[in-house]
Amino acid sequence: MFILVTILISICVVDSSVIINRFEDEYCDLDIELKNEIASYKNITEQIRGEVINKGFGATVFDELSNFIDKFGARIAGSDVLENAIDHMVNITRQRGFNDVFTEDVKVPHWMRGYESAEMIEPRKQTFKILGFGTSVSTPEEGITAEAIVINSFDELNKIDKQKIKGKIVVFDAHFVSYGDTVIYRSQGASKAAKKGALATLVRSITPFSIYSPHTGSQYYSDGVNKIPTAAITLEDADLMRRLQDRGEKIVLTLKMFSSMDEKTSRNTIIDLKGREHPEKQVIVSGHIDSWDVGQGAMDDGGGMIISWMVPVLLKKMNITPKRTVRAILWTGEEPGLVGAAAYLNKHINEVPNINFIMESDEGTFKPLGLDVAGSKKARCIIKEILNLFTPVNKMTESGSPGSDIILFVQKGVPGASLLNENERYYWFHHSEGDTMNVENANDVIQCASFWASFAYVVADLSQDIPRD
Amino acid sequence: MFILVTILISICVVDSSVIINRFEDEYCDLDIELKNEIASYKNITEQIRGEVINKGFGATVFDELSNFIDKFGARIAGSDVLENAIDHMVNITRQRGFNDVFTEDVKVPHWMRGYESAEMIEPRKQTFKILGFGTSVSTPEEGITAEAIVINSFDELNKIDKQKIKGKIVVFDAHFVSYGDTVIYRSQGASKAAKKGALATLVRSITPFSIYSPHTGSQYYSDGVNKIPTAAITLEDADLMRRLQDRGEKIVLTLKMFSSMDEKTSRNTIIDLKGREHPEKQVIVSGHIDSWDVGQGAMDDGGGMIISWMVPVLLKKMNITPKRTVRAILWTGEEPGLVGAAAYLNKHINEVPNINFIMESDEGTFKPLGLDVAGSKKARCIIKEILNLFTPVNKMTESGSPGSDIILFVQKGVPGASLLNENERYYWFHHSEGDTMNVENANDVIQCASFWASFAYVVADLSQDIPRD
């Protein structure tokens, strides 16, 4: 669990607006032969693009996404609906005559949200919309009624006298800077406040924009610290409490939160298009099939899951088999902490040297821009050269932590990449009731699908492996 | 009530993006003397601007808005909180040494929302967030469980066989074009569907954008038609049901809605700065103090109310008294159908010839742009000439229905105007939980306040009345 905490702090930090593209300053000395070989893939990438965009395969994939989301809605880890959704993906794969699809069992935590409410009772009555964070414990039956104190940052919390925190509900009011910078108040806030005697924490939602929309997500209790209830509040209520406190008003809240926690069996789903020359070598494309229990997991990560699912399915349909195996993985249990990916890595640890490249789309499937890449300098040079086949979809960033699940593999030295896309509004909807099919644009998803499949094909077919350090 | 229905269909239709500025094509033949007189007001408008913006009066007004919204929150007509909010405005006026403030009783409908829920039970379970519309009747205790039918428009409803509507819940899925075009599904949908035997209606929220946010508002039952429950659903759920229906799925919903309706006494609030030459003549500036019961009525219409309230207060503070009386009116009962304004007009009908000009801000106090003006050609020429004092805040549109409450006066021939501002996102928040102080930008509100006060002063002080037809 501790490792996962560390990992989770670092995931999903790709914010394309702030990443400096250091790559442009590097010098790539690729063999002319390799450059020519890469250039020779232009035709086949155009064929794939033609199949996806002009011949309607992409539209079919978008319909599959829409059907999937409408049929199942939210799919929290451990729920029956998630298992039904996994069965569905296996079935539609087989219905396309694709039989090399199988699942692997994974034990996942199953946190279930119960009744939740928050009411300000002083200085006036106002109901607050809240969303408990995954793994949050319950309040006592009668709730917690206590004074609230609004805190800007862990720095402020560290400096403040313990007596001012003890017995209170701590409201973390850190404004959104980037997901990576701000999510720590959600993931670690409860334990940090509990250490100073807080009874509960409410956390300003991790988003730059709100229509009174709270955003849930995972949080982690530190060992040896009292577990206190913790939930998201809206930007609106965080700002309201901040103003009231600044005016010297005493704020009293009543918080009721109920939840249960157990363990269930879920499954990673694996779809293989075996390589024609090196079936033991793999290029993995992936997204996660589980979602939070609010919204419908269309953007996080229905879109990324479906464009990854389609890669082997499309290539088989087109009867183009690359040299290496293309494996699509639909991870389970990403939201509670990369649980499916960790189990997969553990089970397949011996195959890690044979994972030539690993890809994940988990930050939206809006208009595609390129890739966020991790790997050796040589690897990045090759990836950049391949990306140029897709100009203008050839942006390359190097955040250091592409994807979410795949970061576990990247940390083992596997070169990998996540999809860069125009996801400026991603966090407006992320982990909220707003993550529905309305966020998905058919044309964008189809463009992503075309790029994703073509890129994976080229990497899987190239005469040389993507080199490691 | 019927008159109000007609009126309400036409209110709030100002959408600055679609209004053609016909005025630019007209020829104004103003006397050079009048033009010179108007130009001579430049200095005093600069003084007012200096007081509001540089000397901090606008910041004080913004603080009053913030205090007011935070102190009272939602203020539905007929509620105690609205009456307390009215007392507060009277008190803060008097606290500034301004004693010419009084209230007039108005009977207002008091609709109270009770428990509301909607659940899709076929083809799968999904809870829908709903907001009943003001005046909606309740469902039976056990709710209404019925098949849903998704309809695009009244045209489609008119053409469809009655047997396909009878016994069903009609889902109106009209996409947002403009408020005026689309709001008819909210205001009239229930009665139109009831005529064909529907049991209830759910209406796609009147907004172009959503983070799973339903929008309430008024609706009106036609005489002699069965009153059926009616509520807003989100864009997301409207689209979901549309897709399900298009795929041939049977949709079954269970709808529970409870509410109560009675009549209460509320008050219009009137603040007079008596004119130094023609105290019997009035320039009225106004906004409404009531709001819906969701959100906090910051934008609708806290902002418009506060910048109107401040006009006489500011002018008195600056010791500049125009020739005519400047009357600020904080209307009550706007949301249930311009009830306060209608009562005021009835009571003050004899004063109508003396209302030189009437102004209302009820479509946001974002960055000011100018005015939406109704009046004779000569009136519009004068207004345009005055507006040029405030360039670049000199845009003039003529929608035909400026403001909301003041439309009743405009229909009696009183020239009037509403505030044009950069309110492209107004309907994202309108009548939703998102209408909070977070929508309000201090600088924008201050800029609006400066413009609003200066403009009102010039009109109130001009040597000639604003001419009628």
- Give me the mean pLDDT over the A241-267 stretch: 98
Contacts of B244 in chain A (CB under 8 A): 70
For residue A405, which of A269, A274, A281 has the smallest C-alpha distance? A269
Q: Output the CA–CA distances (angstroms, integers) from residue B326 to A75, B266, B308, B323, in the order listed.
A: 60, 23, 10, 9
Give the Cβ contact number of residue A31 at 10 Å. Answer: 9
Contacts of B70 in chain A (CB under 8 A): 240, 243-244
Contacts of A215 in chain B (CB under 8 A): none
- Cβ-contact A175, A151 below 8 angstroms: no
Digit-coded pLDDT (tens) for B384-405: 999 999 999 999 999 999 999 9
Chain A: nearest CA to B66, how far in angstroms?
9
In the predicted structure, residue B4 carries a pLDDT above the cut 60: no
The CA-based angle B262-B268-B270, given to 5 degrees, is 170
Mark yes or no for CB contact B437/A243 under 8 Å.
yes
Nearest to A436 among B124, B212, B434 (CB): B212
Give percent above pLDDT 90 in chain B.
93
Contacts of A242 in chain B (CB under 8 A): none
Nearest to B124 among A73, A247, A433 (CB): A73
Mark yes or no for CB contact A438/B295 under 8 Å.
no
Q: How many inter-chain contacts (A to B, CB under 8 Å) are there?
A: 76
In the predicted structure, residue B16 carries a pLDDT above the cut 50: no
User: Is the ipTM above a cut-off of 0.85?
Assistant: yes
Q: Does residue A70 sit at the B interface (CB-CB below 8 Å)? A: yes
- Cβ-contact A387, A24 below 8 angstroms: no
Q: Does residue A351 sit at the B interface (CB-CB below 8 Å)? A: no
Contacts of A243 in chain B (CB under 8 A): 66, 70, 437
Give percent above pLDDT 90 in chain A.
93
In the predicted structure, residue B23 carries a pLDDT above the cut 70: no
In the predicted structure, residue B177 carries a pLDDT above the cut 50: yes
Nearest to B428 among A211, A295, A433 (CB): A211
Contacts of B239 in chain A (CB under 8 A): 436-438
Digit-coded pLDDT (tens) for B274-288: 999 999 999 999 999
- Give me the mean pLDDT over the B34-48 stretch: 98
Annotated active-site residue B334? The verdict is yes
In which element (H, E) is residue B179 found?
helix B179-182
Cα distance between residue A120 and residue B175, in whole Å: 36
Q: Where residue A304 falls among pLDDT bands split at 50, 70, 90?
A: very high
In the set B51, B116, B334, B440, the catalytic residue is B334
Digit-coded pLDDT (tens) for A10-65: 343 344 433 444 554 457 889 999 999 999 999 999 999 999 999 999 999 999 99
Q: Which residue blocks in A73-124 are alpha helix, DSSP H?
A: 80-95
Q: Where residue A190 falls among pLDDT bands split at 50, 70, 90?
A: very high
Q: CA torsion angle for A310, A312, A315, A316 (degrees, to 10)?
A: -110
In sequence order, the β-bridge partners of residue B464 are: none
Mark yes or no for CB contact B438/A73 under 8 Å.
no
Q: Does residue B351 sit at the A interface (CB-CB below 8 Å)? A: no
Name the burial class of residue A163, with classes exposed (0-12), middle (13-18) and buried (19+) by CB atoms within 10 angstroms of its CB. Answer: exposed
Active site residues per annotation of A = 334
Digit-coded pLDDT (tens) for B445-469: 999 999 999 999 999 999 999 999 7
- Give me the mean pLDDT over the A428-453 stretch: 98
CB-based contacts of B209: which residues, under 8 Å, 6+ apart?
B235, B425, B427, B428
Q: Considering chain B, what is the average pLDDT of its residues?
A: 94
- Give me the mean pLDDT over the B116-132 stretch: 98
- Give me the mean pLDDT over the B67-93 stretch: 98
CB-based contacts of A79: which residues, under 8 Å, 6+ apart?
A110, A264, A293
Give the Cβ contact number of residue B354 at 10 Å. Answer: 16
Nearest to A124 among B71, B126, B247 (CB): B71
Q: Does residue A207 sit at the B interface (CB-CB below 8 Å)? A: no
For every residue of B355-422, DSSP letters joined together read EEEEEE--S--SSEEEEEEES-HHHHHHHHHHHGGGTTS-EEE--S--SSTTHHHHTTT--EEEEEE-
pTM greater than 0.90 (yes/no): yes
For residue B258, which of B294, B285, B231, B297 has the smallest C-alpha distance? B231
CB-based contacts of A104: which residues, under 8 Å, 6+ apart?
A267, A268, A270, A343, A344, A347
Name the burial class of residue A6, with classes exposed (0-12), middle (13-18) and buried (19+) by CB atoms within 10 angstroms of its CB. Answer: exposed
Q: Considering chain A, what is the average pLDDT of its residues?
A: 94
For residue A334, which of A366, A361, A369 has the smallest C-alpha distance? A361
Digit-coded pLDDT (tens) for A107-147: 999 999 999 999 999 999 999 999 999 999 999 999 999 99
Cα distance between residue A197 and residue A193, in whole Å: 7
Name the burial class of residue A79, with classes exposed (0-12), middle (13-18) and buried (19+) by CB atoms within 10 angstroms of its CB. Answer: buried
Digit-coded pLDDT (tens) for B308-357: 999 999 999 999 999 999 999 999 999 999 999 999 999 999 999 999 99
Chain B: nearest CA to A20, how far in angstroms?
31
Chain A: nearest CA to B210, how far in angstroms?
8
Mark yes or no for CB contact B432/A210 under 8 Å.
no
Q: CA torsion angle for B21, B24, B29, B31 (degrees, to 10)?
A: 80
* pLDDT of amino acid A310: 98
Q: Does residue B133 sit at the A interface (CB-CB below 8 Å)? A: no
Q: What are phi and psi of A316, to 5 degrees?
A: -65, -45
User: Which residues 282-321 of A are in CB contact (within 8 Å) with B?
Assistant: 295
Contacts of A235 in chain B (CB under 8 A): 438
Q: Does residue B119 sit at the A interface (CB-CB below 8 Å)? A: no
Chain A, nearest residue to B212 by Cα: A434
Strands B230-233 and B200-204, by their bridges, are parallel
Mark yes or no for CB contact A438/B210 under 8 Å.
yes
Positions of E strands within B138-249: 144-151, 169-172, 200-204, 230-233
A14 vs A347, higher pLDDT: A347
Q: Does residue A47 sit at the B interface (CB-CB below 8 Å)? A: no
Nearest to A211 among B70, B123, B429 (CB): B429
Q: Does residue A211 sit at the B interface (CB-CB below 8 Å)? A: yes
Chain A, nearest residue to B434 by Cα: A211
In sequence order, the β-bridge partners of residue A287 are: A330
Cα distance between residue B153 and residue B227, in whole Å: 20
Contacts of A244 in chain B (CB under 8 A): 70
- Give me the mean pLDDT over the A91-99 stretch: 96
Cα distance between residue A338 and residue A341, in whole Å: 5
* pLDDT of amino acid A27: 75
Chain A: nearest CA to B185, how far in angstroms?
21
Digit-coded pLDDT (tens) for A335-345: 999 999 999 99
- Cβ-contact A361, A303 below 8 angstroms: yes
Cα A360 to chain centroid distance, Å, stands at: 9
Q: Is the peptide bond before B392 cis (omega within 30 degrees of 0)?
A: yes
| Amino acid making up residue B312 | P
